[in-house]
Structure 1
Amino acid sequence: MLKNYFKIAIAVLKRRKFFTFISLFGISFTLTVLMILTAFIDKVGNSNYPDKKRDRCLYILNMEMTGSKNGAMTKGPHSFYFLDHYTKSLKTPEKVAISSMFDFSSAYVNNKKVPINLKFTNADYWDVLDYDFLEGKPFSKQQVDNAEKVAVISEDTKKAYFGDAPSVVGKYIEADNIKYRVSGVVKNVPITQMMMYGDMYLPYTVSKNDYKKDKGFNGNFSGILLAKSVDDLPKMQKEYSDMIPRIKITEKEFDHLYSFADTYFVSLIRVILGDGPNSGISKLVIGLSIFVFLFMLLPTINLVNINITRIMERSSEIGVRKAFGASSQTLVYQFIVENIILTLLGGLIGVVLSVIVMQLINNSGLIANLNLSLNYVVLFCSLLACLVFGLLSGVYPAWRMSRLNVVNALKAQ
């Protein structure tokens, strides 16, 4: 039976090629956009390099201070003082990684400018995160304490600055007119991993900022708390949340401080939707749901209209089948199957287009070190979207078809 439905569906598609093109284009384009978006979200949310201990970590990204009397507000990353002074006092974390957001800098090789994003870290940073060292090793706590000018660089920075040199450990790289001795080379990190991305990693003690005298709370640093085990995660989160209300705010214009130690996904949501008392997960889910619904609504309505037009053209066929005893339920089932076949064909085209677009994005270098891929999660979402397309755009036209009067249907031709 399904084989016959498939043959009928192909014959119907060939009958009106223009309508078929419009339908397939709408389906494939919509699915391509959704699949690229899904692949990007999957890459940001599920990529665990170099964050391989993510299940034991809590992330401290942005903070927010407000003044209830004067309406003052400030938000952004924390200062090194805040993270070092307060998070180091917590008892539950095994390690606390502190790192700056990347700073734009540059180096010059043979009169050619090489852009370099600097990242300043403490020594524990290398214990919390698991970078793949292609050569060398991270700088030590002693080197950090001594403010030694040492650096860990990415493989792209090595290639751009040193060319095809087999080993660069012990060599010097110059940035902002300062020479740093290379202690290690790590595998590239995509820029979507904003807490870990960098071209050159340096001890925080060589930063131009006076981290000793600056006792403010706002700055350019983020933190990662590493628990001894997964079971300690709730305890560590509670300890941090209990600590925040006890912190005395030194700035007179502010009287409320919001800072959270969250899981990775929740921390990203706070960056997008704010750092107030609510994480904004419900807002994100509602927002994404509305976006997907509206984005799929237009091609669905378009497909519904085209399907209704096709039904009217097939009224005589429907009348004949009803006259020979075909039930309305059988006809509805047939048409829905035909429509799902159409959407699956559009989905197949969408998969091919998605692979092409992903390769273009990966090769373009628009997003540093990003490598989108078509994995099982993306394929599952695309299959689900195809089925939703097929059902939403097929149910109403099928219902209209089942309501056609036999006599009127036969007279239509």
Structure 2
Amino acid sequence: MSNQPQRRVLEPVSDTGRNGLDYRELIKVSLDSLLANRLRTFLTMLGIIIGVASVVSLMTLGNGASEAITGQFSALGTNVLTIFNSRPNRGPGQSGNIAPLTMSDYKAIERIKLPIVGPVPQFSANATIAAPAADKSAGILGTTADYAKVQSVTMASGSFFTDANVQGASQVVVLGSSLKTYLFGSGEAIGETVRINSLACRVIGVMASKGGGGFGSVDDQAIVPITLAHTRLFSARTSDGNLRVTTISLSVIKAEDIDFTQERIQMTLRDLRKLNSDGSEDDFNIINQASFLSSLSTITTLLTTFLAAIAGISLLVGGIGIMNIMLVSVTERTKEIGLRRAVGAQSRDILLQFMIEAVVLSLLGGFIGVVLGSILPIVLTVTGTFNAPVTLNSVVISLSVSLATGLFFGIWPARNAARLNPIQALRHE
């Protein structure tokens, strides 16, 4: 019995193949050749599969993270200015303490006649919040009634607290949607009592979800009157007896007034805190939400593109793999190419056959890569761990790059095969 590998019987060339191009025949011959060497075909596609899977996965996860972050900040409103502490601008060898924002800063801004809604002081801290069936460590935000207007809060049930609640330091609380679900499940929360640092508070409202969970979302917070936070829940006194706040927010009614409003606030705080008028000693910063959101979106997009480009390097490796294997294939199939030429196949038929093989390898590898690369984002989305839906854009880009890779790296082997001399090819052993 012979140990020689069984040779594949060549398909006869049709009349169309002699005078023109029979694409159906070329595709059939190309597929037969790939199927005759299944292991080699799979190993050749492996680089493309890994590359496309990496690109799809990283693009999808990157886009999901970008949307979660920007969505969270967008939910706060694009005309919102937020004031917070920042380290003062000091030269080398100089030191300076960060003076905390206080209710005095808030009241000074409140006295300015500005085209705004607010301002709103906010004091943030963590505490244990306990319900009858569950308890959780959560962010507690103390603020005023205008917070609902400045941050465009929508209530799912109940109501936000009022100015009267703030003035009386009422023991009431508004829950974020995710926190409510954790504490009460699908049951009713309005009217129930929860304990924040052991202090009993009545639930008067539940906010509609704003999204962006996992990034400090308001969905995971409990909101109470700032007077209650200052006097009953936390220690908020400064050394000079003032009351600390974490941030101060306000919403500018018209976008064209944002710069003017920001300048007036800067002047007021510098005067109150006895800082240089040129801003060199500023120990506070003001975030323009619209500008910040634009910059954040640009950064996250660039980061996602960068990660996808790194993953795309494996596509380059896969393309080189296709080229090398096909060059070897041309050498091994030299006599086959000579026989095809002898029975009527033209150079362009040979060229197209090998190009079709390269395209099939890259596209099939691309499709398998898309499927594998989609598994992790889909699992994370379905389980609610992270919202990262696979987009048509990432699929189209990955398949397009995969196709381009196959065409680019398939040209050289295909041209080598098409340029073989038929007589020399028939003599090849």
Scaled to the shorter chain, the TM-score interval is 0.7 to 0.9
Which residue, out of 85, 98, 104, partners 2:108? 85
How far off is 1:115 after superposition? 2.7
Question: 1:117 is paired with a residue of what secondary structure?
Answer: strand
Identify the residue that residue 176 of structure 1 maps to in structure 2.
Answer: 197
Identify the residue that residue 312 of structure 1 maps to in structure 2.
Answer: 327
Question: Does 2:317 match 1:296?
Answer: no
| Worse-matched range after superposition: 28-37 or 261-270 | 261-270
Question: 2:161 is paired with a residue of what secondary structure?
Answer: coil
Q: Is the 8 A contact 2:83 2:248 kept in 1?
A: yes
In 1, distance between residues paired with 2:376 and 2:189?
Answer: 39
Identify the residue that residue 398 of structure 2 maps to in structure 1.
Answer: 385
Amino acid at match of 1:92: P
CA deviation string 1:249-268 (max 9, x = no partner): 5589x824562332357259
In 1, distance between residues paired with 2:34 and 2:257?
Answer: 62
Query: Structure 1's 290 and 48: CA in aligned 2 closer, same or farther, altered over 3 A?
Result: closer
Identify the residue that residue 406 of structure 1 maps to in structure 2.
Answer: 420
Identify the residue that residue 140 of structure 1 maps to in structure 2.
Answer: 162
How far off is 1:329 after superposition? 8.2
Q: Is the 8 A contact 2:82 2:288 kept in 1?
A: yes
In 1, distance between residues paired with 2:405 and 2:98?
Answer: 44
Question: 1:38 is paired with a residue of what secondary structure?
Answer: helix
CA deviation string 1:146-191 (max 9, x = no partner): 22121012344445445664x4433321110111121112234543
Question: 1:185 is paired with a residue of what secondary structure?
Answer: strand
In 2, distance between residues paired with 1:83 and 1:349?
Answer: 54
How far off is 1:37 after superposition? 2.1
In 2, distance between residues paired with 1:222 and 1:313?
Answer: 69
In 2, distance between residues paired with 1:327 and 1:56?
Answer: 64
Amino acid at match of 1:143: N
Q: Is the 8 A contact 1:107 1:114 kept in 2?
A: yes
Identify the residue that residue 56 of structure 2 maps to in structure 1.
Answer: 31
What residue ranges of structure 2 are gaps of 5+ in the alignment? 1-21
Question: 1:194 is paired with a residue of what secondary structure?
Answer: coil
CA deviation string 1:309-367 (max 9, x = no partner): 332243147956887131898579646643552354135314641453324652x5xxx
Query: Structure 1's 289 and 80: CA in aligned 2 closer, same or farther, altered over 3 A?
Result: farther
What residue ranges of structure 1 are gaps of 5+ in the alignment? 271-280, 365-369
Question: Does 2:70 match 1:45?
Answer: yes
Identify the residue that residue 263 of structure 1 maps to in structure 2.
Answer: 289
Q: Is the 8 A contact 1:6 1:341 kept in 2?
A: no
How far off is 1:5 after superposition? 7.8
Tell which structure's C-alpha radius of gyration is larger. Answer: 2
Query: Structure 1's 219 and 205: CA in aligned 2 closer, same or farther, altered over 3 A?
Result: closer
**Aligned residues, how many?**
384
In 2, distance between residues paired with 1:6 and 1:91?
Answer: 73
Q: Is the 8 A contact 2:50 2:369 kept in 1?
A: no
In 1, distance between residues paired with 2:124 and 2:32?
Answer: 55
Question: 1:184 is paired with a residue of what secondary structure?
Answer: strand
Q: Is the 8 A contact 1:81 1:214 kept in 2?
A: no
In 1, distance between residues paired with 2:72 and 2:82?
Answer: 15
Q: Is the 8 A contact 1:335 1:394 kept in 2?
A: no
In 1, distance between residues paired with 2:23 and 2:283?
Answer: 63
Amino acid at match of 2:144: N
Which residue, out of 354, 361, 374, partners 2:389? 374
| Correspondences of 1:338-353 after superposition (within 5 Å) | 338=360, 341-350=363-372, 352-353=374-375
How far off is 1:93 after superposition? 2.3
In 1, distance between residues paired with 2:196 and 2:166?
Answer: 18
Identify the residue that residue 206 of structure 2 maps to in structure 1.
Answer: 185
Query: Structure 1's 171 and 79: CA in aligned 2 closer, same or farther, altered over 3 A?
Result: same
Question: 2:213 is paired with a residue of what secondary structure?
Answer: coil
Query: Structure 1's 294 and 144: CA in aligned 2 closer, same or farther, altered over 3 A?
Result: same
Amino acid at match of 2:66: I
TM-score of the aligned structures, taking structure 1 as reference length: 0.73
Identify the residue that residue 103 of structure 1 maps to in structure 2.
Answer: 126
Amino acid at match of 2:190: V
| Correspondences of 1:6-25 after superposition (within 5 Å) | 8=30, 12=34, 14=38, 16-25=41-50
In 2, distance between residues paired with 1:130 and 1:345?
Answer: 44
TM-score of the aligned structures, taking structure 2 as reference length: 0.70
Q: Is the 8 A contact 2:177 2:219 kept in 1?
A: no
Query: Structure 1's 9 and 109: CA in aligned 2 closer, same or farther, altered over 3 A?
Result: farther
Identify the residue that residue 240 of structure 1 maps to in structure 2.
Answer: 262
